């Protein structure tokens, strides 16, 4: 299902019914429903429906971990998505690729990915609503089709789903780490090794809740894994490629700062620098994924922003 933003929309509950046959017994209820293509819902969304009493087995409420039995009758009621009040805005987009299932954008530095409280306009989503005649309903109301995000001051490639099946496929690729995302970053100082990896837990800063921080062993936080290699060395700076295997908030910026080599221009995790960068010099330059419909492997690249390229050129 996809939301068409240029037409009046009338939403109603949808009902799905399943009868468990041999081969599906003993499977968890939430896992079974998440695999049903007609539902096009993620496992977490299925679990939310179960918690809200929208799923019944043999006309009884059961938990998500319920183990199915042969001949069980399952009824699922899917309520309509929340009404989207996000306004379409005619903001220019640098489109790298587009078809009926997805769109790949080269996001400029300074553009927020999606609306949030206190910042509901002038975002990538506002621009997409003006450009696309449909986006995936999943992620709504403020993040329709948004599979992953880039920080406001990070430029580069971002993929957005235009249909619900595409959304679920891309989210699964992220989860299984088969979607590959590579970044270029200009960092302070000379990184010692030519290549390496960083694997430390990242969580909210204990004092400044707007920041992320490396978490000590045993503390809260989520595993974050990045790989890097040196592309070019300068007198006081290093240009590195960073490949992320997880997608934690501010992951690259926190990891590089943890190494002692913060991204040039990073106002949160960096330091004052003689380079007058307009923003952090971090660019998502390469993206590889499997097309949700055709199964074809696709790879995209985006050139460096002009100011970042000019700064690097000066350093040479």
SS (H, E, C) 48-67: HHHHCCCEEECCECCCCCCE
Q: Are 84 and 11 in contact (CB under 8 A)?
A: no
The DSSP H or E segment spanning 297 is strand 297-301
Write the CB contacts of 139 (distance below 8 Å, at least 6 apart in sequence).
145, 146, 147, 161, 167
Q: Are 93 and 105 in contact (CB under 8 A)?
A: yes
Q: Which residue has the tokens 């590889």?
A: 288
Taking the C-alpha atoms of residue 290 and residue 285, their distance in angstroms, rounded to an integer, is 17
Catalytic residue status for 99: no
Residue of 151, 153, 164, 266 marked catalytic = 151
Taking the C-alpha atoms of residue 30 and residue 34, their distance in angstroms, rounded to an integer, is 6
Write the CB contacts of 187 (distance below 8 Å, at least 6 apart in sequence).
237, 238, 239, 240, 256, 261, 262, 263, 264
Could you give the residue numbers annotated as active site?
151
């Amino acid at each position: 299902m996809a939301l068409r933003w240029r037409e009046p929309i009338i939403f109603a509950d949808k009902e799905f019914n399943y009868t468990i046959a041999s081969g599906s017994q003993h499977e968890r209820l939430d896992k079974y429903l998440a695999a049903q293509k007609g539902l096009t819902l993620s496992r977490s969304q299925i679990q939310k429906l179960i918690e809200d009493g929208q799923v019944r087995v043999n006309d009884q409420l059961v938990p998500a971990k319920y183990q199915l039995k042969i001949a069980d009758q399952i009824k699922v009621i899917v309520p309509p998505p929340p009404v989207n009040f996000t306004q379409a805005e005619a903001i220019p987009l640098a489109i790298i690729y587009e078809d009926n299932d997805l769109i790949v954008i080269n996001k400029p530095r300074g553009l927020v990915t999606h609306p949030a409280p206190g910042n509901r306009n002038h975002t990538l989503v506002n621009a997409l609503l003006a450009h696309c005649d449909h986006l995936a309903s999943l992620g709504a109301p403020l993040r329709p089709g948004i599979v992953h995000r880039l920080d406001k001051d990070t430029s580069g490639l971002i993929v957005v789903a235009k249909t619900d099946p595409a959304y679920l496929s891309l989210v699964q690729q992220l989860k299984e780490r088969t979607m590959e995302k590579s970044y270029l970053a200009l960092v302070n100082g000379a990184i010692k090794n030519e290549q390496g990896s960083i694997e430390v837990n990242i969580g909210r800063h204990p004092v400044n809740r707007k920041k992320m921080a490396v978490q000590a062993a045993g503390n809260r936080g989520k595993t974050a894994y990045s790989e890097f290699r040196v592309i070019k060395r300068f007198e006081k700076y290093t240009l590195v490629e960073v490949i992320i295997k997880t997608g934690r908030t501010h992951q690259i910026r926190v990891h590089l700062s943890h190494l002692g080599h913060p991204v040039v221009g990073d106002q949160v995790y960096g330091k004052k620098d003689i380079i007058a960068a307009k923003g952090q010099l971090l660019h998502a330059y390469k993206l590889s994924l499997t097309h949700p419909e055709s199964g074809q492997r696709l790879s995209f690249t985006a050139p460096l922003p002009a100011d970042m390229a000019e700064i690097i050129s000066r350093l040479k």
